[in-house]
Structure 1
Amino acid sequence: MDIIFVRHGVPDYALSDARQMTQLEKDYAPLDRAHLRPIHDLPEQFSKLNPDVILSSPYTRALQTAEIINRKLNLELFVEHDLREWKADKLGGYISLEERDRRWLEYRNALKQRACQPEKSYESHQELRSRVLNVLERYAHYSTVVVVSHFNVYESLVGHQENSMQCADYRLMTLRDCT
């Protein structure tokens, strides 16, 4: 199966920042309207790749990105909960931003070193990779799948990346590359 992996468009956190919302609440932030053009340009590039279906993270920024792409491609669109971001706390509780950042740095270091992480209170890169592969394998009967998700989901599949994939950018890969 070929995968067109799309990182969601640029989110607009202005309202959530002004209201001092938590990270969980920020997941509902919409796309920044000033940065929609790159997303509108993607379907033309994808049409040559003949995608069969679109899979999206449930987060607003990914869903909006998938919907914009799908206006021109007119494919089935499936929302997959397990294409969401890395989970900073497995229990879903509140953690301070400082603790979240500490866990994120520890997570990133383990990913870079390809180190097996012992049981942690946050999701390991192996756990993230496993849940994403479970989703992709359910769609392996398709020839080409568009996946709209997040940079850390992409990294879980291909390994640590020194430079982040930009918002509204995409990469081509195969399911075989990820396994």
Structure 2
Amino acid sequence: MKVVFIRHGKTDYSLADARQMSQLEKDYAPLQRACIPNIQALASHPSLQQAEIILSSPYTRALQTAEILNRQLQNPLFVEHDLREWQADVKGSYIPLSERDRRWLEYRELFANGNEVTNAGYESATNLLRRVSAVLDSYQTYSTIAVVAHFNVIEAIVGYREQGIEYGEIIEFDYQPSQ
């Protein structure tokens, strides 16, 4: 199955930051309006023209990106909870931004080296891969799917990318279902 990953557009956190919202509340932040034309232009990408469906993370930045693409592509759009962002705290507790950043940097370093800590308090690379793969496996009857998601979700499937993944970047991947 061909998976066309699209990283969501750049998010506008200005209102959330001004109101000192929690991370959970920040997940509702919309796209920056200036990036919307760039997302609209992605719909003409040849690999997206082949997509039969669009899957999206439930976070606003991904959903809004998927909806913009879907206006032009006119494909069925499915929201998948397990395409959500990497979990900085597996208990769902509030953690200070400095601790979240520390955990993120530790996760990235371990992921880059093919290692992980299973009891670090954050989601392991193995668990992230497992939940994302389960979603993709459930759509294996399609030949090409578009997936609008987050940096970590995409990287869990395509592998570590030292240069990162840009907002609105498209990455094509030949996915082999695990089942």
> Is the TM-score greater than 0.5?
yes
User: What does residue 66 of structure 1 align with?
Assistant: 66
- Indicate the percent of aligned positions where both proteins have the same amino acid: 52
Are 2:146 and 1:146 equivalent residues in the alignment?
yes
User: What does residue 129 of structure 2 align with?
Assistant: 129
Deviation at 1:46, TM superposition (A): 4.1
Instruction: Name structure 1 gaps, 5 residues minimum.
Output: none
Deviation at 1:101, TM superposition (A): 1.1
Alignment of 1:152-167 (within 5 A): 152-167=152-167
Contact 2:133 2:177 in 1 (8 A): no
- 1:72-91 Cα distance to aligned partner (Å, 9 max, x none): 11111000000010001111
Alignment of 1:21-170 (within 5 A): 21-46=21-46, 49-170=49-170
Contact 1:49 1:144 in 2 (8 A): no
Contact 2:8 2:61 in 1 (8 A): yes
Deviation at 1:48, TM superposition (A): 6.5
Contact 2:48 2:146 in 1 (8 A): no
With structure 1 as the length reference, what TM-score do the two structures score? 0.95
Q: Take 1:80 and 1:119, find their aligned partners in 2: how far apart are those partners?
A: 26
Instruction: Name structure 2 gaps, 5 residues minimum.
Output: none
Contact 2:49 2:73 in 1 (8 A): no
1:34–1:120 CA distance, 2 compared to 1 (3 A): same
Contact 1:16 1:25 in 2 (8 A): yes
With structure 2 as the length reference, what TM-score do the two structures score? 0.95
Deviation at 1:165, TM superposition (A): 1.1
Contact 1:47 1:73 in 2 (8 A): no
Q: Report the 3-state secondary structure (helix = DSSP H, G, I; strand = E; otherwise coil) of the residue aligned with 1:63.
A: helix
